[in-house]
Amino acid sequence: MKDDVFTFLKGFAMGAANVIPGVSGGTIAFITGIYERLIEAIKRIDGTTLKLACRFQIREVAERIDLRFLMAIGLGAALSILTLAKVFKAVMGHSAWAERALWAFFFGLILASLPAVGKMVRKWSVGPIVGCLLGCAIAVSMAFMGQASESDNFFWLILCGMAAMCSMIIPGLSGSFVLIMMGNYKLVLDGVNALTDGEFGEALKILVPVGIGAVVGMLLLARLLSWLFRTWHDVAVSTITGFIAGSLVIIWPWKDKVMETFMKGDEEKEKVVGFEDWHLPSFGEQGTWLALGMVVAGAALIVLVEFLAKKGKGAGVVR
């Protein structure tokens, strides 16, 4: 039971991370020690599992795909997304300093996780070093990519779901940020909020195709990542380490948003289309000390999570 609670909380943290543009739920899974187990569980959702399900061999299905673990992760992530989407949207719309504090928290969280992630590489040789540098370069380049226009085309939403899920699974790549690059972050967030507001028709029109794409992307990528971890473990882990390190550029709290005005019905609104002018914090600026405190809080949370994980392993609680 304690294991399920820990897993649920890790899923909740993954869902929370995925709501913030630039933060990856895969990073949270990686630094909390459930990443490879999650990939293996997803990979086993295949033809064999489908045959067992058709024969109503439920116990065998549950054991094969680690269903209890997946349900705890899924419930935690879903609850987090449905509840925190509104909270984070309110924080990010409240003021510049409040939004910066939120970014700062995740910056500290991910920065503090890097040493633990790097230790997962068994031997740092030429291959892992190249993989790390390549992963870092790809993640950094995402900060300077242009953005596509928003589109509610059914097939484009499927592609958005596939790309977002793949980036959610890959640590260091943010599903939210990928949706921004594809032009549909706000549209998908509106779909989630419409669902919580009871506007099911509007929500399903957006979320069904995104969900289809997400499932397809998840199943395909899980198989690829599982093979990489078995065959090229150190290169795969070092590349992920590079992705996580490079994502810090996107998450850096002291930068300016590039905004674009659009019309929704008769109402004029704005959305983020990118970032510019990365700079160091100004200590005379409102909220700077709060943001720095949130960096420390994020780092402290990682230290606490690692301590509890080690303690749990020692007690036979955390798998």
**Residue type for position 72:** A
Task: Please write the tens of the pLDDT for every residue from 249-259.
Answer: 877 888 877 76
Task: Please write the tens of the pLDDT for every residue from 212-261.
Answer: 998 888 888 888 888 888 888 899 889 888 888 887 887 788 887 776 67
Assign 148 to helix, strand or coil.
Answer: coil
299: in domain: yes
315 pLDDT above the threshold of 60: no
Q: How many domains does the chain contain in total? A: 1
**Residue 318 binned pLDDT confidence (cut-offs 50, 70, 90):** very low
Q: Which long-range contacts (CB under 8 A, 24 or more apart) does 268-271 make?
A: 271/150, 271/185, 271/186
172 pLDDT above the threshold of 50: yes
Distance CA 248, CA 27 (A): 12
C-alpha of 121 from chain center: 22
Across residues 102-107, what is the average pLDDT? 84
271 pLDDT above the threshold of 90: no
- 115: enclosing H helix or E strand: helix 96-118
pTM equals 0.66
254: in domain: yes
Distance CA 89, CA 102 (A): 11
Across residues 181-206, what is the average pLDDT? 80
Q: Tell me the CA end-to-end span of the chain in Å, nearest whole number.
A: 12
319: in domain: no
The pLDDT of residue 316 is: 46
295: in domain: yes
Q: Environment class of residue 90 by beta-carbon count within 10 Å: exposed (0-12), middle (13-18) or buried (19+)? A: exposed
Distance CA 90, CA 236 (A): 37
Which residue range is the domain that position 236 belongs to?
A: 2-314
247: in domain: yes
- pLDDT: is 137 or 149 the higher one? 137
Q: Are 250 and 174 in contact (CB under 8 A)?
A: yes
- pLDDT: is 33 or 211 the higher one? 211
